[in-house]
Structure 1
Amino acid sequence: MNRSIPNRRGSTMVFVVIMLPIIFALAGMAVNYSYIQVCKTKMQIVADASVRAAGREYVDSGDRDLALAAAQNMSNLNPVGTTTIALSSGDLEFGSSYKFGSNQKYSFNPTTGQGNAVRLTTNTFAGGGGDAPIPFFAVLGSNFEIRPTLTATNTQSTLDVALVVDRSGSMRSPADPAEAQIPGSEPDDVPLNSRWLDLVDAVDIFLNELNSSASTEKASLVSYSDNASDDVNLSSNYSAIRSQMDAFSDSFPGGYTNIHEGIMFGINSVTKSGYSRSWATRAIVLMSDGNATAGDDPLLAAAQAASLEIPIYTVSFSQEADQILMEQIAADTGGRHFHADTGAQLEDAFRSIAQAIPSLLTQ
């Protein structure tokens, strides 16, 4: 008995005809998705750059209108294709950003007073302000605009730093003991080849480095021998520090080496109300050319600095300096230790510290 075989000609073509629009739709969705992700990535980069510009302006001038103008200018300079992300005053929040522990993230808190941080949220753009890119392919016969809500936070980690310098009697000597001269009666001007004058030059280099920072850094001066003295309060004008260093050069007091009290005065200097900034990164630069010969154990003061999260960057100067102690102080507080045997090395150390103490930008 013959059985008839059904004729299936054209069935594959029907399947192709049915599936082809689906394939095209899926392909269009894939292209759109990729394009949307690329746009969002580029827009986030623009938001980051804009809030970074606003943050620098805000910390330097304290003017919120200028900060907004800086953000808008940066956005205008970096269009995404033909689209410029519109920004208005409602997109920026001003406040302070703190890091409460070495393993913690920065926390932003809006404030009506002066702070160190700006948070940008693209509310104006997301709400329909200005032009926006559209996907390549329409969805269900209509196009839509790509308007993500993006957020970026900029923290300008401005610096409050205390220079804590050794003015003990040994600082009248040269870095090379073979060049030592018999000192005159104290107080007296220091010899031309003294360690103190090497320090004066190194401090000047340090202050020049701070001046070149994009942020406004404050510095103070503490000096110590038998006892410590609070010589210059925190200020972004460093001329008083230079003047005081020169004054010591003309009439050098000398004495023993009370490193403990020098550190404690340094802590007080970078936390002093009316001069220190609550949002600033605080640090101490401690210099000594010898051993602790007066006062309490310097490591006790270092522990106090560590509890307040104030790093101490230490510089030991000359072959007689207690490098082990200075290394330990730096290690205990999260700072770094530098050693110098010559005036040139001392200058390099202070330059390196100015560059190593972070004026960080965190997001």
Structure 2
Amino acid sequence: MNARRRTYIDPEVQGALARRLVLHWAIFIIAAAILIFGMNWLSDPFTPAATHFQRMTSDYGPALLVLVCLAPIFVFDAVRLSNRFTGPMLRFKNAAKSLASGERPAKIQLRRGDFWQEVAADFNRVIDRFDPSAKPDHQPPSTTTRRGVAATEFAVCLPVLMLLLLGTIECCSMIFLKQTLAVAAYEGGHAALAPGATSAQARVAAEAILTERRIAGGSVEITPRPLESIAEGEFFDIRVSAPTNANRILNDPVRPPLVCRRRSRRPQPRRRGAILVLVAVLMPVFVLMAAFAIDLAWMQLVRTELRTATDSASRAGAKTLSLRQSEALARTAAVQAAARNTVAGTPLTVDPADVTFGQSTQANPNARFAFSVGGSPVNAVRVQGLRTASSADGGVNLFFGSMLGSEEFEPRLTATSTVLDRDIAIVIDRSGSMGLDISIPYDANGQNCGPMGSRTRFAALNSAIGVFLNELELTIPNEQVALVSYSSSFNTRCGNRRLRYNTSNTDRALTFTYSRITSSMDDFMTDGIGGGTAIGEGLREGISALEDARPYAIKTIILMTDGRHNTGVSPESMVPSARAAGITIHTVTFSPAADINRMRAIANSAGGRSFHADTSGDLSSAFRDIARTLPVLVTAAGRRRSALGSRSAPGSRSALGRRWGRKRRMGATTVEFALVAPAFFLVIMSMFEFTRLNVLRHTADNAAYEAARVAIVPGATTAQARTEANRLLTIVGARGASVNFNPGTITPETDSVTVTVTIPLDSNGWVVPRFTRGRTLTSSATMRTERVRSR
């Protein structure tokens, strides 16, 4: 056994091979453990690292242990296989020594399965022809020595490695180019939603993002054009594009220099670990690239979350200002709404001092709103959302900020919401049924001639309109009110006078003096009422009464009836005219005999709400709710450049020395490249995966926010909001995502809507879904509903 070991085993060569296998096996296991831990941490960055480590140990510990246990088996098998070539080489070495000393060597006998059998046969034929009489100083012809093998393989492998590196950088650049274009389109659409927005303003908002991100050659297309001509409720598209060839990091092909050297006659180097040295030099570049990609996506995500929270806070403050007429309560509502939305995993804390009140005005009907602090009357709330070092929540920590020269990201955004003025036409039913006594069920003997009794339906309407006007007196905006009445053409004698009415009349034109409205209602109470129910004619007259509305005001009709349409044009035929004029119609039905379903359909088709009252108290409550329902619109969304510390360009210089030895190692670089290539590919694919996860998280937040914006519009359904969320998720190819709403059904009484978007990571991984199995990305947005349609 010892003789065989001396004959067939070379401890130096095979020991080096065993050590190299053990080294690469250890590097692979350590790299796999680090990548597993990193992916788990990125999928849930707010969980403590110790928890991730415990989870990794329990999930993947057995697999890593198996890999460790397999290492000796593979090393032993590699050493046994190496006997097949180290043994023959040792025999050739000994024979060469005999020839060098002038002795006749013995023939080489190899075992079955050894390498170089043909070489041994050729060598034995040379021995048979050996001439003892030859001159002593005669040297056998030397074989051609392969010099520079490691250097040649290094020159071949280096372009491949550089191509992997630069290709990864280029792919990440294209991914973020697409993300930037999506953000630019989103910002352009956000700007276009503001009242009076123009195509030029939307284009400027989108181009500002492209400029900030240094995107060259970008273009913004808005369809249909111009934006000012798009009717309310219609969709428009903003498409942002940029040429990829103008935004590539590598504009020219990579051409590695060709270096030609004269062959050297000196002994060749024994190159060890050439690729490992290259990996050590290039790994910081890979790490910096991955760090930049992750932090950039994280910064964009934080900015979107801050915008969502700030918009929600300003809307909540304006809505409370409208309903409660108190700046203190509005400030509290804004702070609470901000806290219900998270920014970088933390509920946003808004300083009460960052909630300011003022006045928003328009220079003309097509202009944007301009906010000024103070002023009278107060109709706007501005909220400033801060994540700076001086704010309550502090700056946003970057994952790899210390590597990039800036440890914190400090975004700041402002949003302004305005309570808009309204011009209102109250369209009342003065038909004969309004003279029925509400205290007597099934009363068929209504009163026509005045004075009207206090228990008639018309008296209850008179009281409800008084409540409505009193509520308007308490609101901050100034509303104009007109009074329109309808029945049918009516002519009857009441005592010694005649009571005459046209089918419909504008009894009071739009006025700020509400006493004129009450005076007209008192006239009806004194004179009397009568006729049929021409609801369509009353609606036509109400539309006409609002032709003199203020150019900046929201136009609203309150259509009231106690019966069913029975004469004149149908009310449905007048709805298109109301919609064309930008008028919202609320309907109020009074008494069980009213056509509730028909009036509800009219309100839904005109963007309003439908109320039903069975008693006098219910009727007053309905009018009170309408008075408190004032439109709130986000009229300004400020955007400031986020603060980010200067970055120092990391640089390193590495000197690669040469180690010369007595033995040549052929193919060392190729073997080493084959061993480290899986780790290289795993690192590259992991960087794609990290970027993908951040893009998905960003998209989930955008989808939740946009779905919430759709859901808060009057008349919206969860199906419409879900369609909008799915549209955004489809853009990035998110699979298996779910969109949930709380409450599940949106009704006119819904106070707020919470949209939650959940994306399963195991269905959306590009490379290794196994690492994210069972994990999900969840994003939610909460917004208060709009109770009337905004223009």
Q: TM-score under structure 2 normalisation?
A: 0.33
Which residues of 2 match residues 33-182 of structure 1 at below 5 A? 33-45=296-308, 47-48=310-311, 52=315, 95-96=361-362, 108=368, 135=398, 137=400, 142-143=405-406, 146=409, 154=417, 156-175=419-438, 178-179=442-443
Q: Which gives a bigger RCO, structure 1 or 2 (Cα 8 Å, sep 6+)? A: 1
For 1:343, the equivalent position in structure 2 comes to 615
Letter in 1 for 2:633: L
Query: Highest Rg: 1 or 2?
Result: 2
Distance 1:243-1:146 versus aligned 2 partners, 3 A rule: farther
How many pairs were matched up? 340
User: In structure 2, what is the Cα distance between the partners aligned to 1:243 and 1:117?
Assistant: 33
User: In structure 2, what is the Cα distance between the partners aligned to 1:339 and 1:57?
Assistant: 25
User: In structure 2, what is the Cα distance between the partners aligned to 1:83 and 1:202?
Assistant: 42
For 1:269, the equivalent position in structure 2 comes to 545
Which residues of 2 match residues 9-24 of structure 1 at below 5 A? 9-11=272-274, 13-24=276-287
- Stretches of structure 2 that go unaligned for 5 or more consecutive residues are 1-118, 120-142, 151-269, 488-500, 636-791
How far off its partner does 1:269 sit? 3.4
Deviation sequence 1:127-173 (CA, Å, 0-9, x none): xxx99768565688744985769685645444332221122332111
For 1:233, the equivalent position in structure 2 comes to 510
Deviation sequence 1:235-288 (CA, Å, 0-9, x none): 4x756545654x25751421224545532332233332xxx3323321211112
For 2:486, the equivalent position in structure 1 comes to 224
Q: Which of 544, 547, 552 is matched with 1:279 structurally?
A: 552
Q: Which has the higher helix share?
A: 2
For 1:32, the equivalent position in structure 2 comes to 295
How far off its partner does 1:191 sit? 4.3
User: In structure 2, what is the Cα distance between the partners aligned to 1:35 and 1:324?
Assistant: 50
- My pick for the range that moved more, 13-22 or 166-175, is 13-22
**1:219 touches 1:234 (CA, 8 Å); kept in 2?**
yes
Distance 1:224-1:143 versus aligned 2 partners, 3 A rule: same
Percent of counterpart pairs with the same letter? 29
User: In structure 1, what is the Cα distance between the partners aligned to 2:319 and 2:442?
Assistant: 49
Q: Is 1:354 aligned to 2:617, yes or no?
A: no
CA RMSD of aligned residues (A): 6.0
Distance 1:138-1:286 versus aligned 2 partners, 3 A rule: closer
SS in 2 for 1:163: strand
**2:288 touches 2:404 (CA, 8 Å); kept in 1?**
no
For 2:458, the equivalent position in structure 1 comes to 196
How far off its partner does 1:174 sit? 2.4
For 1:251, the equivalent position in structure 2 comes to 526
How far off its partner does 1:196 sit? 1.5
Distance 1:224-1:250 versus aligned 2 partners, 3 A rule: same
Letter in 1 for 2:626: A
Letter in 2 for 1:266: G
**1:83 touches 1:133 (CA, 8 Å); kept in 2?**
no
User: In structure 2, what is the Cα distance between the partners aligned to 1:83 and 1:298?
Assistant: 49
Distance 1:229-1:83 versus aligned 2 partners, 3 A rule: closer
User: In structure 1, what is the Cα distance between the partners aligned to 2:617 and 2:317?
Assistant: 38
User: In structure 1, what is the Cα distance between the partners aligned to 2:463 and 2:453?
Assistant: 14
Letter in 2 for 1:188: P
**2:318 touches 2:632 (CA, 8 Å); kept in 1?**
no
For 2:586, the equivalent position in structure 1 comes to 313
